[in-house]
């Protein structure tokens, strides 16, 4: 399971103020490719084992943050560090690509 469910309300605390890299999966329940991405995100969360935060944000329930960050298609995955987007992936993204990016950011 992802480490945290991210919402418009907790985005600042869970993502922008986090002291670790954060991977955010912007998704929706009706999105077929998002259903394919979900298990990959879960594998990334397990592999990170607390070294980075992995969260999921349902864009239907939390449109403000998705709009603020220009999420136009889903799944979109963004990696944040120090409150800034450092990498963005659009479309289904491999476990290897996500882990590679997160591992570069771990101190």
Judge contact between 36 and 92, C-beta under 8 A: yes
40 as an active site residue: the answer is no
**Per residue in 91-103, pLDDT tens?**
999 999 999 999 9
DSSP type of residue 61:
T
Q: Which of 4, 34, 40, 98 is catalytic?
A: 34
**Rounded Cα distance, 88 and 49, in Å:** 22
Nearest to residue 66, comparing CAs of 101, 25, 5, 97? 25
Tokens of 26: 């912007």
pLDDT at residue 107 greater than cutoff 80: no
**Is the predicted pLDDT of residue 26 greater than 70, yes or no?**
yes
Q: What's the CA dihedral at 5, 22, 83, 107 to 10 degrees?
A: 150
Beta strand 22-27 pairing with 4-5 = unpaired
34 annotated active-site:
yes
Number of H helices, E strands in the chain: 4, 5
Choose which CATH entry (3.40.50.300, 3.40.30.10, 3.40.640.10, 3.20.20.70) describes domain 4-105. 3.40.30.10
Helix 95-105 with 32-48: angle, nearest 10 deg: 40
Domain chopping of the chain, boundaries:
4-105
Q: Which of 28, 31, 47, 90 is catalytic?
A: 31
Q: Is the pTM of this model over 0.75?
A: yes
């Amino acid at each position: 399971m992802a480490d945290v469910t991210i919402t418009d309300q907790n985005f600042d605390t869970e993502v922008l103020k986090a002291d670790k890299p954060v991977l955010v999966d912007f998704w929706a329940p009706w999105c077929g490719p998002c259903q394919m991405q979900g298990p990959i995100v879960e594998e990334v969360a397990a592999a990170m084992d607390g070294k980075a935060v992995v969260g999921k944000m349902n864009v239907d329930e939390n449109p403000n943050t998705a709009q603020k960050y220009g999420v136009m298609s889903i799944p979109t995955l963004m990696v944040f560090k120090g409150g800034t987007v450092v990498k963005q992936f659009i479309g289904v993204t491999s476990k290897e690509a996500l882990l590679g990016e997160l591992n570069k950011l771990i101190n």
